Structure 1
Amino acid sequence: MSTTPTQASPIRRFLLVGRAVIAIAILAAVVGQLITSITFWTARGDESIPLNVLNFFSFFTIESNVLAVMVLAVLVAAQLGRPRIGRRFDVLLLCVSTYMVVTGIVYNTLLRGIELPQGATLGWSNEVLHLIAPLWMLADWLLSSGKRELRFGDLRVVVIFPLVWLAYTLLRGPFTRDQATGRDWWYPYPFLDPATHANGYVGVAIMCVIIAATVVLAAWGMIAISRARRRAGEAQPVAA
């Protein structure tokens, strides 16, 4: 059953305000955590703050959230009268939404219980980046995906960035010094560190396969939702 313009108007307003608020919240969370981290690293006496900053932006969480700010800004602009970019943007939005959903899943199932040094983490920022923003991106998709022009073949595009990030992380890790522990290697997440697995790189490979499967399944589900809504005739202009 199609959504009438009258019915769509409150959803459009909700999405417009929500997208703007979440984009600002993510930006504030990233900047706030970076400032907190730099203060912490300086007080700890780390030799290379630039190395730590590079490591900070090597986290998949940070990268996916920065991408989320960008696509949310485009969506807000589109709702305020800018022309839609078209199918290429729909695929980009699919990618970013998938990365954010997977970020939320991985953090809240594998990483939430890990204790970090006192003062190293900005609590509210952590919740925005790992819980609130991923939930918003999922909700946004559920409300507006009927407009997206997507194909199951777009899964090939979704996996490109995670694979590139994974290759970068695994190749860089053994040659990056961990200034917190003094070790000669550094990985952004413990499940990617061979030293944390009894079987070394075999354990890392297993975790990589599990996470890759999560990415593919999440993207497949989001495409399926979008295509089902379009077939059901729910592709009225609810939101950009």
Structure 2
Amino acid sequence: MLTRRMFGWSRLLTAAVCIVALVHRMLWGMGSQTLAGTNFFAYLTIQSNTVFAALAVVAGVIALRRDEDPAWLTSARVLVLSWTITAGLAFALIVWQAGERGIPITVPWSDAVLHFVLPAWTVVAWVFGPGRRAASWRVVPFVLLYPLLWGVFTIWRGSVIGWYPYYFLDLRQVSGIGEMVLSCALALSIFAVVAVALVLLSRVRPTVPSWGEISPRPRPTVRRRRETRARRPPRHAR
């Protein structure tokens, strides 16, 4: 199917754009000569988009070879898209709060691509991309596993090196443990809401034709035709 093949190439193009943005963001960050620049891979955005790029390559190849995505790919896309979309929402919130507090934040074009452009495009591709069946609700709890483990490790690592990728994980930048726990709980709830929304969208609008649309009605066998004729009453009895 031509549309499916075009969609496969768009997945590969999306992976290429993501990789270019990641490389630029890494070079830009390391050029800042700050502790944040040397901790490039500590950011959840960077980790999740690295996985996103790899998954987009795999998904693109599958779209070029098959008319439908396998079930495991749909589940994997829910996982990764939930992470990248939530990271974009969190980044937008951080930039907005920084502006409210008068704290300048420089946003290079690569950050804009990773946090805003790619998440917006993936939502469009998720809704309208051909070959996607309905996702399973069972994937939603697993969406929370990665950010939960990442958060625990990041808080521990931050206490050792004295640096945190996001301010709300640092007790020195919040009012106390209560605000930090509340912020983390809010972040996890956003992950869950995004995952639920993706699964719901996939079920409301699956992009794989139903069985009746892709499979013709089976023709009756010779034996079944004979049985049907035997059950019919004679013409004179009608």
TM-score with structure 1 length normalisation? 0.76
Do the aligned residues in 1 keep the contact of 2:167 with 2:173 (CA within 8 Å)? yes
Task: Letter of the 2:45 partner, please give it.
Answer: T
**Distance (whole Å) between structure 2 residues aligned to residue 203 and residue 145 of structure 1:** 43
Deviations 1:103-133 (A, max 9, x none): 11111122354524xxxx6711111111111
Residue 33 (1) aligns with residue 25 (2): yes
Q: How much identity, in percent, do the aligned residues show?
A: 25
Do the aligned residues in 1 keep the contact of 2:79 with 2:195 (CA within 8 Å)? yes
Q: State the partner residue of 1:140.
A: 125
| Distance verdict in 2 for CA 1:17–1:187, change over 3 Å | same
Do the aligned residues in 2 keep the contact of 1:65 with 1:129 (CA within 8 Å)? yes
Q: State the partner residue of 2:73.
A: 89
Q: State the partner residue of 1:175.
A: 160
Do the aligned residues in 1 keep the contact of 2:69 with 2:131 (CA within 8 Å)? no
Residue 220 (1) aligns with residue 196 (2): yes
Q: State the partner residue of 2:209.
A: 236
Rg larger for: 2
Q: State the partner residue of 1:189.
A: 166
1:83 Cα deviation after fit: 8.8
Q: State the partner residue of 1:156.
A: 141
1:17 Cα deviation after fit: 3.8
Do the aligned residues in 2 keep the contact of 1:145 with 1:225 (CA within 8 Å)? no
Say which SS state the counterpart of residue 129 (structure 2) adopts. helix
Q: Flag structure 2 segments of 5+ consecutive residues without an equivalent.
A: 211-238
Alignment: residue pair count: 205
Do the aligned residues in 2 keep the contact of 1:23 with 1:69 (CA within 8 Å)? yes
TM-score with structure 2 length normalisation? 0.77
Q: State the partner residue of 1:125.
A: 110
| Distance verdict in 2 for CA 1:167–1:83, change over 3 Å | farther
Q: State the partner residue of 1:115.
A: 104
Say which SS state the counterpart of residue 65 (structure 2) adopts. coil
**Distance (whole Å) between structure 2 residues aligned to residue 135 and residue 26 of structure 1:** 13
1:96 Cα deviation after fit: 0.5
1:228 Cα deviation after fit: 2.1
| Equivalent of residue 63 in structure 1, options 28, 41, 47 | 47
**Distance (whole Å) between structure 2 residues aligned to residue 36 and residue 110 of structure 1:** 19
Q: Flag structure 1 segments of 5+ consecutive residues without an equivalent.
A: 177-184
1:22 Cα deviation after fit: 2.0
Residue 76 (1) aligns with residue 60 (2): yes
1:64 Cα deviation after fit: 1.1
Task: Letter of the 1:164 partner, please give it.
Answer: L
Higher relative contact order (CA 8 A, sep 6+): 1
